Chains A and B, each alone.
Chain A
């Protein structure tokens, strides 16, 4: 099974440009998440979605937006990228209903120049 698929794997983006990071899961999980991971700062939650049609802000939501039109997809959009958004982005999912383990995608390495 594929699990969680993220695209692209890596990207170099000019500052000021917009970009959407894609995330698709085939596990029929209700909950999905976006984290960013930076050296020395660990994994930080950007946005989350407990179920299709709902989203919420995590610890570091500024500069990012998400949507959850269906169960499988949870795209993350950077409207106008800045260098501080250079990071590794992980999409994750969990069954939902109660806090359980999160399953992670392979990550997207984004460099904003």
Chain B
């Protein structure tokens, strides 16, 4: 049973707009949450992590966490064509040591 759910997309936004990527999870005990970006044919790379309820900002990226609703999101402001990629939500796998459990990812397309 997959514990991390994401819409597969594709999510299409025009250049300069805000892209909103969402993720829900089932394990209420989860304490840390990670957003990865994966370009086609490449390996995943970390964008942000968040541990506390509320917002965390890093440049054009903002992660939002609501533990009561079991919901984490990633906002990308001033979206650029170079942001076109698949975005993966991840949280610790409670059954596998320190491993992360990944959602299937949301494909984002930023159109010029």
Contact = CB atoms under 8 A, between A and B. Distances in A.
Contacts of A94: 98
Contacts of A59: 96
A45 B96 contact: yes
Contact of B103 (A42, A50, A98): A42
The listed residue with most A CB atoms (<10 A of its CB), out of B8, B43, B98, B101, is: B98
A106 B96 contact: no
A43 B88 contact: yes
Interface residues of B, number: 26
A104 to B, nearest CB: 4
Contact of A104 (B8, B44, B101): B44
A48 B102 contact: no
B45 A99 contact: no
Contacts, number: 66
Per DSSP, chain B at the interface is loop
A90 interface: yes
A42 B104 contact: yes
A5 to B, nearest CB: 12
Give chain A's interface residue range (CB within 8 Å of chain B).
Answer: 20 to 34
Contacts of B91: 99
Nearest to B92: A99
B13 interface: no
Interface string B77-106: 000000000001011110011111111110
A100 to B, nearest CB: 7
The listed residue with most A CB atoms (<10 A of its CB), out of B42, B49, B93, is: B93
A96 interface: yes
Contacts of A102: 46, 90, 99-100
A101 B46 contact: yes
10 contacts: A31-B98, A31-B99, A42-B104, A43-B44, A50-B98, A56-B97, A90-B43, A99-B32, A100-B49, A102-B90
